[in-house]
Structure 1
Amino acid sequence: MTDPIAQLRQAAALHQAGRLAEAEPLYAAALATLPGHPDALHLYGVLCAQTGRNARAVELIGAAITRKADSGAYHANLARALRAEGRLAEAAASLRRAIALHPSADAFFSIGNILRQMGHTREALARFRCALILRPEAVEARMNAAEAQEALGRRDDALCQLRTALACAPAAPALLFNLARTEQAAGHADAAVRGYRRTLRTAIEGEDTAINLGAALLEAGRPAEAVDVLRRCAALVPDRPDRLLALATALRQVGDVDGCLAFFHRLKALTPTDPTPWQRSAEVQEAEGRLDACTATLQEVARLSREGRFHWKTAYYHLVRIGNLLIGEGRLDRVATLLPPAVAAFRGVDAELHAWALFLQGSLAVRLGDAAAAQDAFRRAEPHIPFLAHIPTGNGFARRVEALPPAADAESEAAFVLETLAPPENGPVVVASCDSGYLERFGPLFLASLDRFSSPGQAAHLHILDPRPDTAARVAALERRLRHVRLGWSHETSPAGLTPQARTTFYTFARFLRVPRLARLYRAPLLVADIDACLLSDPAGFLAPLSAANPLALQYFPDNLARLYDGVGGGLMVLRPDPAVIALFDRIRRFLVSWIAERRLHYFLDQIALTAGTDDAVRRGDGPSILPIPADGRLFRCGDGLFVQILTEKDQPGFAASIATLLDRLERIEPAPDPGLDRGLILKAIGVTV
């Protein structure tokens, strides 16, 4: 009879020698005789993982751990199989157990990689540092630590880490490339050029490095050298768009405008559905004073858009981009020269696109202080863009606010019905408004995300429009699911006589009507947000940038040519209840009420009111200082606060089911020690990648 232990030893020897096909039947035979042997289960599981059968590996190694839970190697190998199965949180948990049993550089490195993959960059960096304490010469750990530091905005630390690694491996191509790339990102163009050249001397294949070298040469002010490098790259793969785009950019910088435009023309044929080469062509043509060519390019984009090749407003977006580039250079004169021929060119292609170009002409006139020209442009465009009726010119905002009939103001204020307040113990009061449909669809997720990251004593307030008979019961049911958040609410009925479209517009701005009232009632900072969104951090973190000198933070784009309807975004605002802030929003409220009184409510009125109100405060010289809230990809950041809007994701198939599963999970499990784990869980469920 064959000794099963001897079989196991033979299988392990074959396994170690890389002879997996010969080892597998011996593992199977050993397990048949010794079905619960932990080493046999573990080693067979490792072999299965090595041959791509990760689910079987998880089963076998898991069985080994139930019999011998004190082996760090078992837990580490289980983590590898779990990671390959995409079960990252479980893999991280297995590695934590492995580290508790036997701390090793490999285990710290592995968990760092998993945490980085999950988006938990700070914790990943801490684990890479642990790996380096145990093994200072570990080049890959230093490279990954540097990537984490760069992601956290610590570029100098990343450079130091990579230079230390270079002392351990001075000829490693990946390391040399990463160091050069980081030098380039830090603005050290000459150092990056040297690094990329050194990488090319050590790497067998260096096409990507050569592309980066070309970009670094451009940044270093050496465009002629960049052209030489990028020509060689383009010649290797003649039809690769990214290389042609880089070469076209370099040719422009050396003054070869015709050569640059020729490559953009080639790109148009190679990538027929990509509007980028058209956009770049128009930008170059305008910059070179070739206004007729620029206008012809925009007109052709408009024509192709009408045929369905691009989005119908693509030519308008190109025009806005060129205008914004010129505004950034302080060249309003060139914007004024560009717009009239563009308006004329669009007239013959698409009446609505022509109207949008007229809007830009009116927007520029407002910026230049020519109210009569602005009114004329808006009057001609208004049949296609009804919201232009709302845009005030000159002192129009102030006149409308000050002429508001007291009865209309009183009627609007009387519509507000307060049910309950929830005074906060810390942080801002989080405010959202919605109709009954959005309360049912997005209220549970919005409040669950808030509750997940809040400290005890956090307050939220829902302002509900057109409540149903069961709304009070729905609010009470939502509050019962909250662990930390106390919920106040109010409601109002939308004004009579509104069309369905006007009522939808009313829903978009109703919360701005109630900001002054809620600020006075709560006497606390407010975080005002869209309800079809998620809070991804403790709301208290949003208050850090605010002060008596800077009491208001919002999405603010004052240098946008289209700013009259797109200069302020109201999806997220953070404010202190300072008199200047309350006064600003009270005037915005009165502006909105004036349009309600006329029963004229067109889309974008919410953004128009915010932009016009802040402009009015600037003119009056009594407005609060505004802190712009920056966007980092899909995330809005304010201090330590994180916020994400749900955009097209809500219309995707399966969205409601995914949210239901998420809400059930959040209710069943305690918040993770690392908030990043819960952030990842929420973002994955709503389908947002950051």
Structure 2
Amino acid sequence: MTDPIAQLRQAAALHQTGRLAEAEPLYAAVLTALPGHPDALHLYGVLCAQTGRHARAVELIGAAIARKSHSGAYHANLARALRAEGRLAEAAGSLRRAIALQPSADAFFSLGNILKQSGHMQEALARFRCALILHPEAPETRMNAASVLETLGRRDEALRQLRAGLACDPANPALLFNLARTEQAAGNADHAACGYRRALRTTAEGEDSAVNLGTALLEAGRPAEAVDALRRCAALAPDRAERLLALATALRQAGAVDGCLTVFQRLKALTPTDPTPWQRSAEVQEAAGRLDACVATLLEVARLSREGRFHWKTAYYHLVRIGNLLVGEGRLDRVAALLPPAVAAFRGVDAELHAWALFLQGSLATRLGEAAAAQEAFRRAEPHLPFLAHIPTGDGFARRIEALSPAADTESEAAFVLETLAPPGNGPVVVASCDSGYLERFGPLFLASLDRFSTPGQAAHLHILDPRPDTAARVRALEGRLRHVRLGWSHETSPAGLTAQARTTFYTFARFLRVPRLSRLYQAPLMVADIDACLLSDPVGFLAPLSAATPLALQHFPDNLARLYDGVGGGLVVMRPDPAVIALFDRIRRFLVSWIAERRLHYFLDQIALTAGTDDAVRRGDGPSILPIPVKGRLFLCGDGLFVQILTEKDQPGFAASIAALLDRLERTPPAPDPQLDRSMILKAIGVMV
């Protein structure tokens, strides 16, 4: 009869030498003979984890621990399987038990990694420090500690960790690379370049170091050396578009215009549906004074767009980008030289594209104070771009609101019907407006995301357009699902006599009609947002950068050549109840009402009104100071506040089902200890990558 203990020793020996297929049946035989043997359960579980069967590994090692709970190794190996299953909190608990039983550098290191992955950076750093006390020469621990320190904004400490690691292992290519990368992020481009060269000398597989060497040399103002490095990288992987793009950038900075354009030609062939090399080619040609070539490139983009290769408006976007680069350099003379030939070229390709180029001519004329030239350009473009009728020139904004009839103003104000006010809390009252359809489609997610990150007592207000008979019940149902948020609401019926398109435009700006009224009603800061969006942090954080001196935050792009319709973004506005802010939005409201009275509402009117209103306030010299809200990737950033709009994602197949599953999960589970985990869950569900 076979001795099961001998079989276990044989299985363990085979396992240790990597002969897993031979070891597995022996472990199974041992457990048949000795059911519940803890070492056999544990080792069989480890083997299952090594072969990707992590759920089975959790089951087996858990059974081993149930019979022998005092083994630190058991708990540590269970943690590895749990982590592979995505069960991070349980994995962290297992490692803490392992450390309590048998402290080791490996267990501290593993716990630090799980905490880092979960977003608990301070605690992760503490565990990495414990691991380094036990094993100070460990390069991976030094690198991971440095990564956490960099995330925490403590880059100098991160550099010290990496240098300490190199003192123990001077030829470690990963340490050399990470030190160089961190030096580069710190702005030490020369040191970074030296580090990348050292990394390249230690390994034959250093393509990332070679590419980063090239970018570091560019940052150090050494473009000729960068060209040499990046040309070698491109030769090693001639089909890697990002390497060709880096090489083209270096050639441009080195003044090698023809070489740069040659690389862009290769990129056009390599990535035929990517408009980027066309855009960069046009920029290089304009900067080199080759206007004819620049316009020819834009014209070819327009022709390819008509054939369906690019979005039909791509040539216009390229033209705006070139114009904005020049505006940023203060070179309006070069913008003025570029636009006429572009306008003429587009005339023969696409009438609407031609109209957009005319719009840019009018925008430039407005910037230069040439009102008559601007009006003439807009007049010629308006048949294709009807929104241009809304753009005021000169003092047109002030004249229009002063001419507004009291009856039209009274009619608009009378349309507002207040149902309830929410008791305001410590943060801003979060305001959104929508029609009944958007209330049903996006209201639950918007409010659920707000509720997820808010503290108790947060106030929100919904302004609902064209309510249905069941709207009040829907609002009550939404409020009933909220833990922290107290909900107020109001409604109005859209003006009679609007076309379907005009009614949609009305929906886009209706919230700005009601900002002055809501500000007076609540006597509290407001955060006015699109409802097809998500809050990703406590609204209190959005108020932090505002003050009596700067009471208004919004997306503000005063140097945008297309600013007359795109100079202010209305997706997120944060405001204190300051008289200057309320006065600004009251004038914007009156401007909007003037167009409602004429029943002329074209797309972009919401953005035009905000831009024209802020311009008017600057002209009069009594407007509030504006804090621009930046966007990083897809995230709006304001103080500690984070916000994301839902754009094309809402039209993707499966979006509604994904949101329903997310809402169910948000309702069933409490907020995570680290808000980043909830943010990641929401962004993943809506399909936004940041």
Scaled to the shorter chain, the TM-score interval is: over 0.9
Give, in whole Å, the separation in 2 of the partners of 1:152 and 1:388: 47
- Contact kept in structure 2, 1:401 and 1:590, CA below 8 Å: yes
The one-letter code sitting in structure 2 at the alignment partner of 1:213 is L
Shift of 1:123: 5.4
The one-letter code sitting in structure 1 at the alignment partner of 2:618 is V
Shift of 1:200: 1.3
Residue ranges of structure 2 left out of the alignment (5+ in a row): none
What are the Cα deviations for residues 192-231 of structure 1, in whole angstroms up to 9, with x where unaligned? 1111111111112222222221222222222222222223
> Structure 1 pair 189/61, CA: closer, same or farther in 2 (3 Å)?
same
Superposed, 1:225-624 pairs within 5 Å as 225-624=225-624
The one-letter code sitting in structure 2 at the alignment partner of 1:257 is V
- Contact kept in structure 1, 2:79 and 2:94, CA below 8 Å: yes
Of stretches 446-455 and 57-66 in structure 1, the one that deviates more from structure 2 is 57-66
Residue 218 (structure 2) aligns with: 218
SS in 2 for 1:194: helix
> Structure 1 pair 90/317, CA: closer, same or farther in 2 (3 Å)?
farther
Give, in whole Å, the separation in 2 of the partners of 1:407 and 1:396: 21
Return the TM-score normalized by structure 1: 0.96
Residue 189 (structure 1) aligns with: 189
Give, in whole Å, the separation in 2 of the partners of 1:439 and 1:93: 42
SS in 2 for 1:622: coil
Shift of 1:678: 1.8
Give, in whole Å, the separation in 2 of the partners of 1:3 and 1:188: 65
Q: In angstroms, what is the RMSD of aligned CA positions? A: 2.0
Shift of 1:43: 1.4
Give, in whole Å, the separation in 1 of the partners of 2:567 and 2:16: 65
- Contact kept in structure 2, 1:567 and 1:611, CA below 8 Å: yes
What are the Cα deviations for residues 482-510 of structure 1, in whole angstroms up to 9, with x where unaligned? 11111111111111111111111111111
Give, in whole Å, the separation in 2 of the partners of 1:437 and 1:100: 56
- Contact kept in structure 1, 2:459 and 2:488, CA below 8 Å: yes
What are the Cα deviations for residues 619-670 of structure 1, in whole angstroms up to 9, with x where unaligned? 1111111111111222112111111111122122222122212222222222
Give, in whole Å, the separation in 2 of the partners of 1:254 and 1:384: 43
The one-letter code sitting in structure 1 at the alignment partner of 2:60 is L
Residue 5 (structure 1) aligns with: 5
What are the Cα deviations for residues 138-194 of structure 1, in whole angstroms up to 9, with x where unaligned? 321221232233344443333233222222221111111111122122221111111
Of stretches 569-578 and 655-664 in structure 1, the one that deviates more from structure 2 is 655-664
SS in 2 for 1:643: strand
Residue 674 (structure 2) aligns with: 674
The one-letter code sitting in structure 2 at the alignment partner of 1:628 is P
Residue 638 (structure 1) aligns with: 638
Shift of 1:518: 0.8
Give, in whole Å, the separation in 2 of the partners of 1:171 and 1:662: 48
Shift of 1:93: 5.1
- Contact kept in structure 1, 2:362 and 2:374, CA below 8 Å: yes
Give, in whole Å, the separation in 2 of the partners of 1:404 and 1:70: 82
Residue 626 (structure 1) aligns with: 626
Superposed, 1:196-207 pairs within 5 Å as 196-207=196-207
- Contact kept in structure 1, 2:118 and 2:674, CA below 8 Å: no
> Structure 1 pair 98/616, CA: closer, same or farther in 2 (3 Å)?
farther
The one-letter code sitting in structure 1 at the alignment partner of 2:426 is N
Give, in whole Å, the separation in 1 of the partners of 2:101 and 2:607: 57
Shift of 1:91: 4.0
- Contact kept in structure 2, 1:105 and 1:132, CA below 8 Å: yes
> Structure 1 pair 475/101, CA: closer, same or farther in 2 (3 Å)?
farther
> Structure 1 pair 516/621, CA: closer, same or farther in 2 (3 Å)?
same
Question: When the two structures are aligned, how many residues end up with a matched partner?
Answer: 690
SS in 1 for 2:565: helix
- Contact kept in structure 2, 1:118 and 1:680, CA below 8 Å: no
> Structure 1 pair 360/115, CA: closer, same or farther in 2 (3 Å)?
farther
Of stretches 144-153 and 531-540 in structure 1, the one that deviates more from structure 2 is 144-153
Give, in whole Å, the separation in 2 of the partners of 1:433 and 1:70: 59
- Contact kept in structure 1, 2:119 and 2:674, CA below 8 Å: no
The one-letter code sitting in structure 2 at the alignment partner of 1:429 is V
Residue 30 (structure 2) aligns with: 30
What are the Cα deviations for residues 339-369 of structure 1, in whole angstroms up to 9, with x where unaligned? 1111111111111111111111111111111
Shift of 1:85: 3.7
Of stretches 306-315 and 98-107 in structure 1, the one that deviates more from structure 2 is 98-107
> Structure 1 pair 638/498, CA: closer, same or farther in 2 (3 Å)?
same
Give, in whole Å, the separation in 2 of the partners of 1:677 and 1:90: 15
Give, in whole Å, the separation in 2 of the partners of 1:120 and 1:324: 41
> Structure 1 pair 111/320, CA: closer, same or farther in 2 (3 Å)?
farther
Give, in whole Å, the separation in 1 of the partners of 2:184 and 2:357: 39
Identity of matched residues, %: 88
Residue ranges of structure 1 left out of the alignment (5+ in a row): none
- Contact kept in structure 2, 1:119 and 1:680, CA below 8 Å: no
> Structure 1 pair 370/83, CA: closer, same or farther in 2 (3 Å)?
same
> Structure 1 pair 293/422, CA: closer, same or farther in 2 (3 Å)?
same
Shift of 1:133: 4.6
- Contact kept in structure 2, 1:563 and 1:611, CA below 8 Å: yes
Shift of 1:130: 4.5
> Structure 1 pair 22/359, CA: closer, same or farther in 2 (3 Å)?
same
> Structure 1 pair 521/129, CA: closer, same or farther in 2 (3 Å)?
farther
Give, in whole Å, the separation in 2 of the partners of 1:70 and 1:603: 69
Shift of 1:97: 5.1
> Structure 1 pair 635/121, CA: closer, same or farther in 2 (3 Å)?
farther
- Contact kept in structure 2, 1:417 and 1:492, CA below 8 Å: yes
Of stretches 244-253 and 483-492 in structure 1, the one that deviates more from structure 2 is 244-253
- Contact kept in structure 1, 2:536 and 2:641, CA below 8 Å: yes
What are the Cα deviations for residues 376-415 of structure 1, in whole angstroms up to 9, with x where unaligned? 1111111111111111111111111111111111111111
> Structure 1 pair 569/162, CA: closer, same or farther in 2 (3 Å)?
same
The one-letter code sitting in structure 1 at the alignment partner of 2:589 is R
The one-letter code sitting in structure 2 at the alignment partner of 1:229 is A
- Contact kept in structure 1, 2:150 and 2:158, CA below 8 Å: yes
- Contact kept in structure 1, 2:358 and 2:378, CA below 8 Å: yes
> Structure 1 pair 288/458, CA: closer, same or farther in 2 (3 Å)?
same
> Structure 1 pair 561/134, CA: closer, same or farther in 2 (3 Å)?
farther
Give, in whole Å, the separation in 2 of the partners of 1:318 and 1:33: 74
> Structure 1 pair 456/69, CA: closer, same or farther in 2 (3 Å)?
farther
> Structure 1 pair 678/225, CA: closer, same or farther in 2 (3 Å)?
closer
Give, in whole Å, the separation in 2 of the partners of 1:663 and 1:93: 28
Give, in whole Å, the separation in 1 of the partners of 2:489 and 2:656: 25
The one-letter code sitting in structure 2 at the alignment partner of 1:348 is G
What are the Cα deviations for residues 553-581 of structure 1, in whole angstroms up to 9, with x where unaligned? 11111111111111111111111001011
Residue 40 (structure 1) aligns with: 40
What are the Cα deviations for residues 214-264 of structure 1, in whole angstroms up to 9, with x where unaligned? 222222222222222223333333343333222222222232211221221
SS in 2 for 1:25: helix
- Contact kept in structure 2, 1:451 and 1:485, CA below 8 Å: yes
Give, in whole Å, the separation in 1 of the partners of 2:97 and 2:627: 45
Give, in whole Å, the separation in 1 of the partners of 2:671 and 2:102: 27
SS in 2 for 1:463: strand
Give, in whole Å, the separation in 2 of the partners of 1:586 and 1:178: 54
- Contact kept in structure 2, 1:324 and 1:560, CA below 8 Å: yes
Of stretches 130-139 and 222-231 in structure 1, the one that deviates more from structure 2 is 130-139
Of stretches 294-303 and 44-53 in structure 1, the one that deviates more from structure 2 is 44-53
The one-letter code sitting in structure 2 at the alignment partner of 1:43 is L
> Structure 1 pair 47/518, CA: closer, same or farther in 2 (3 Å)?
same
